[in-house]
Chain A
Amino acid sequence: MSALKITSRDAATGPVVEIAGDLDYDTAGRLREVCTDLALHSGQRLVIDLAALEFMDSTGITALIAARNHALAAGADIALAAVPDNTIRILRLVGLDQIFPMHPSTEAATVGAG
């Protein structure tokens, strides 16, 4: 168990949110708050960088879905970057790999929106 740390910055394509530590029942609410407060504009891409993610449970998945809903409501899209293997396994298990584009890195995720 390690504390969740969330940092956000702006890339050319839009906000990049980096998540480090455990995203679980006790911490997922913070990601949802951060995403809700983001200034997202139509045509931008919200990139969530999971390179330093250590653990994610179903509430973490909920937070990702909330982030996706938030992006879509703003006319933007969403992408995951540097998703750990175990998280990829879970995402595939629940079929979310179909609705979350995944990139090997934030750099790759922020090279144009297309």
Chain B
Amino acid sequence: MIRRARGSGADGTGATPAGESADAAFPALLEESPEILYEQAPCGYLTTMMDGTVAKVNATLLGWLGRTREEVLGRMRFGDLLTAGGRIYHETHFAPLLRMQGEISGVALELKAADGTRMPVLASSVVTYGSEGEPLLIRTTLSDARDRRAYEEELLRGTRAAERARAEAEEARRAADEARRAAEHARTQEERARKEEERARRQAEQTRRETEQARKEEERARRQAEQATKDAEQDRRAAELARKQAEFERQQAEAARRDAEADRARLQDALGVLQQSLLPDHLPVVPGLEAASYYHTASPERLGGDFYDLFPLDGKRWAFFLGDVCGKGPQAAALTSLTRYSLRAAALHDPDPVAALSTLNTVLHERYTGGDPRYCTTVFGTVEPDPATGHVAVHLASGGHPPALIRRADGRAEYLETPGGLLVGVVPEPHFTAAHTTLAPGDTLLLYTDGLTEARTGPERALYGDDALRDFVADLPDAGPGALVGALTALLEGFGTGLDDDTALLALGAPKDTTATSATTATVATATATATATTVATVTATTTPEPE
């Protein structure tokens, strides 16, 4: 509008007085010449040849181009007015479409002014044809598209901004994604770290527990070690104590052993004294009688239960006994003692052998009864030598004792049987068997305990027995009491371990002649010369032989 007003003013021809009304001016406008309209139209007009050579151009376009008409007419083509891009677009699209369709409109192109500035335009072209229909000219209208271009550029700018914003948004989204991923990653990392930490924490806890456990174990081990140490110490002390105890006990035992040995020695002494009290120290010298004895002790500890004795009764008779109490040891010794003195007392009261044994039986049976019976076997008798004949009358009785053996001077040996005589002390009214014989000069009466006949001999440990004893005695060359006891002593020693019981021997004999008698007796009891004299005196006083 400004340009138009300025054009109108510059032109001068169409100027209208300022005071004219609009109604008055309008016809003036209508009266504008077509030439002015063409030249000063608000768009550019351009007529070219078919090859694009500019044939006609209006002032508006020349003004846009900054060129004179002379520069353009016949010298430049339409394409020369365009920018390089516009020219290429014109040649490749615009011109071919135009030739083919005859018209084209609204195509955006860009003019290039002489000063190099550019100007966007919208181009519409039509082809004018001749009478023959041949194309003659191209008429082109170019309208200013700078505003449009600005809009488009604005639009483009907006688009770009939008695009940029979109890109930015995209970028932001990507960044967000990235951030999200990073965050995710970080979160994952964190989670992992958390898990790692949790694991580490658990591990630490586990380690702590293990450490605690180990500490407790160590504590327990330490306590155990301490306990073991204490135990060991205790054991050591106990062992020491036990050792001392053992040493003490050993010393005690040693002392006890010494005491025991001392006791044993004292006991041996006592037993020896006691044993001596049970037997006569030596046999008395009996006129007209030869006597010998022997005692074998099987065991010193087991005080023997065998006994014998020979003692005077009156002026002409002597009593003798030999026996065996049951058992061994102190009780046996006590029984032996009781038996010995009972028989001595009984014989003095009544020298009859059966009466003496009966008295002893009463004593023992009253003394020992019930579950602890004590008894003995005994041969009790009297001898009465006859100085006139040299014979010795023998009266005896047996209570459960082996029979006496008689060795005659002519070599015969025979038992003086006393069957049925019962052990002394077992029953209240026992039967005792009496027997009597006369020893001629050279005859010997042997009393013995069953240690002799019950001895075991030979590898078979056979019982020695009555028959063997009788034969042994019969075969002896000298049958006097001394010789007989000597031979039997040797026999007993020969038995060795086969003889496990005490054995007592008592032999009484009638001397072969009177002179020999006193000699033999003297050898048996040399210590009692006074008694011998007394006894001899007694013998000489009693010369009466026993009847029967």
Contact = CB atoms under 8 A, between A and B. Distances in A.
B371 to A, nearest CB: 5
Contact of B400 (A25, A73, A86, A95): A95
B431 A95 contact: yes
B328 A65 contact: no
Contact of A58 (B326, B426, B463): B326
Nearest to B432: A95
Given A58-B327, A62-B326, A94 B369 contact: no
Nearest to A63: B373
Which of B328, B373, B454 has the most chain A CB atoms inside 10 A of its CB? B373
A95 B373 contact: no
Given A62-B326, A62-B327, A96 B426 contact: yes
Contact of A36 (B327, B371, B426, B430): B371
Interface stretch (B87-95, B314-322, B416-424, B520-528): B416-424
Interface string A56-69: 01110110011001
Contact of B420 (A57, A61, A65, A95): A95
Given A66-B372, A66-B373, A99-B427, A94 B400 contact: yes
Contacts of A36: 371
Given A57-B501, A98-B431, A66 B423 contact: no
A93 interface: yes
A11 B475 CA distance: 53
Given A62-B373, A65-B373, A65-B375, A92 B419 contact: yes
B402 interface: yes
A70 interface: yes
Q: Is the interface of B mostly helix, strand, loop or mixed?
A: loop
Interface in A62-114: 62, 65-66, 69-70, 73, 86, 92-96, 98-99
B377 interface: yes
B163 to A, nearest CB: 131
Q: Is the interface of A mostly helix, strand, loop or mixed?
A: helix
B463 A98 contact: no
B326 A86 contact: no
A99 B426 contact: yes
A25 B371 CA distance: 16
Interface in A22-37: 25, 32, 36
A73 B375 CA distance: 18
B399 interface: yes
Nearest to B398: A95
Interface string B14-37: 000000000000000000000000
29 contacts: A25-B328, A57-B454, A58-B305, A58-B324, A58-B326, A62-B326, A62-B374, A65-B423, A65-B426, A66-B372, A66-B373, A69-B369, A69-B370, A70-B371, A73-B370, A86-B463, A93-B400, A93-B401, A93-B402, A94-B400, A95-B399, A95-B400, A95-B421, A95-B422, A96-B400, A96-B422, A96-B423, A96-B426, A99-B426
Interface of B: 305, 324, 326-328, 369-375, 377, 399-402, 419-423, 426-427, 430-431, 450, 454, 463, 501
Interface of A: 25, 32, 36, 57-59, 61-62, 65-66, 69-70, 73, 86, 92-96, 98-99
Given A65-B426, A66-B372, A94-B423, 20 more contacts: A57-B454, A58-B324, A59-B327, A62-B373, A62-B374, A62-B375, A65-B373, A65-B423, A66-B370, A70-B370, A92-B419, A93-B400, A93-B402, A94-B400, A95-B400, A95-B420, A95-B421, A95-B422, A96-B422, A98-B422
